Homo-oligomer: A and B are copies of this chain.
């Protein structure tokens, strides 16, 4: 059996998914504990895989990547080997930050972050449409983003 999370664990996770640079002491103070049990719990959460990694979130626009686009894709063939190949190819495109196999009106939904419309068109023409078995492609250009977070809802635990 796996490890099961208690209240304190979820509080720690909640804090770290907001700001992973908090010191152990500051977290311990907030929870009314000392540093050692908090430290041990964090290490356990990392080891057990509840925490996958620690990352810096960059400002896309400030860095020059001003456009987010979602692309709904339909494939013409659906053999297992072909689906796998499609995902493998997609993984090599750095402008694609998400690729989901979905049920509904599309087979795949991609999320891209690119410089601008030209960069997007370049992706479509010289990368995406070169993939075989590609069927319908529908783009959703992001005009503005009202919410975008990594914080998942831990209140259910």
Contact = CB atoms under 8 A, between A and B. Distances in A.
A122 B155 CA distance: 15
A70 B105 CA distance: 11
A146 B91 CA distance: 8
A107 to B, nearest CB: 9
Given A141-B103, A152-B97, A90 B147 contact: yes
Contacts of A94: 151, 153, 155
B51 A57 contact: yes
A48, A57, A91, A114 — most chain B CB neighbours (10 Å): A57
A101 B146 contact: yes
Given A65-B152, A140-B105, A59 B55 contact: no
Contact of A53 (B57, B62, B103): B57
Given A65-B156, A70-B100, A106 B56 contact: no
Interface residues of A, number: 71
A135 to B, nearest CB: 16
Contact of A96 (B17, B56, B144, B147): B147
Interface stretch (A18-26, A30-38, A74-82, A124-132): A18-26
Contact of A150 (B50, B57, B103, B138): B57
Contacts of A58: 13, 17, 50-52, 152
